[in-house]
Amino acid sequence: MREVNFYAYETYCMVRIEERPDGPEVLSACRDIAMRVEQTLNMYDDESELSAMCRNYCPGVPYGVSEMLFYFLNINLNMAELCEGAFDPTVGALVRKWGIGSGKNVIPTEAELAALMKRTGYQHIRLLPEQCTAVIDIGGIIIDPGASGKGFAIDLIVDYLKEKKVRSACLDFGGNLYVMGSNIEENETHGVEKPGNGAWNIGIRHPDDPGKIMAQVYAKDQAVSTSSWYEHHFKRAGHIYSHLIDPSNGKTVESGLSSVTVLCDRAIYADIISTALYVLGEEKGKDVIGKLYKRTGIQTDYLACKYKR
């Protein structure tokens, strides 16, 4: 198999496909798609389209966006509504204030959180498809693509690979995975079909010891996304603060779960739902999965690890 590796979304990314004559060209195009998405959505790059929109929009005035940004916003807002706000892309100001993962590690005061909460809420954004515009009715909103951007990019690449009739592929964007077709490399190496009719065997890290494998899942033509406290966090006075923010109060999440892994047909849904389930907890999270299936027909499976620290 052939692969391309590159750095994007503040992590290392890999796309691997079957051996084929046009492999280098296909992989180069995959990287170009990924970089184009980052250039559009990176909230830490002042030159990105997303940053420019959040900096330049006027409350209540339609703001023109590209088709890519409109498509991204539309999915995010629909999923925020479906998740009843447990996933909310407008938490960017809160994410920046906490600074978890950037080395700042600030615990905001209650007054600071109250002020920042006035700058959040997906319901403050509406889209006008006829004009390809977004209308934001309050000032200071910052959209954070952290819980959906990598999944969005993966889906665009998978769609491209399917157009090119690629039979087998594996994408890994900082632990956000998509496996396509059969694991040809494994089947050819061992001379037998893998369990699950050529499915890919994926190890899930243990949240309390990321050096160990907690479980294994078999996936085929599915995305696999995990949300957990260990990805980015800091400890203070014996308390662990994770990078995942609860949109209902602006604080770091404490839901009774320490890890959620989601398997789904589309990577952006896996990305978003793993975050929503981590915020909601297992019981309420099941309702979100049921709503997604009823609305889209998309099947979602999950593996939840209870909080044990």
Binding residues: 147, 271, 275
Query: What single-letter amino acid sits at 66?
Result: S
* CA–CA dist 283, 286 (Å, integer): 5
Binding-site residues for Mg(2+), in ranges, read 147, 271, 275
Q: Which long-range contacts (CB under 8 A, 24 or more apart) does 95-102 make?
A: 95/142, 95/144, 95/146, 95/243, 95/245, 96/142, 98/241, 98/243, 98/245, 98/252, 100/232, 100/233, 100/234, 100/241, 100/242, 100/243, 100/252, 101/232, 101/243
Angle between helices 267-280 and 282-296 (to 10 degrees): 150
Neighbours of 294 (CB within 10 A): 10
CB 250 within 8 A of CB 117: yes
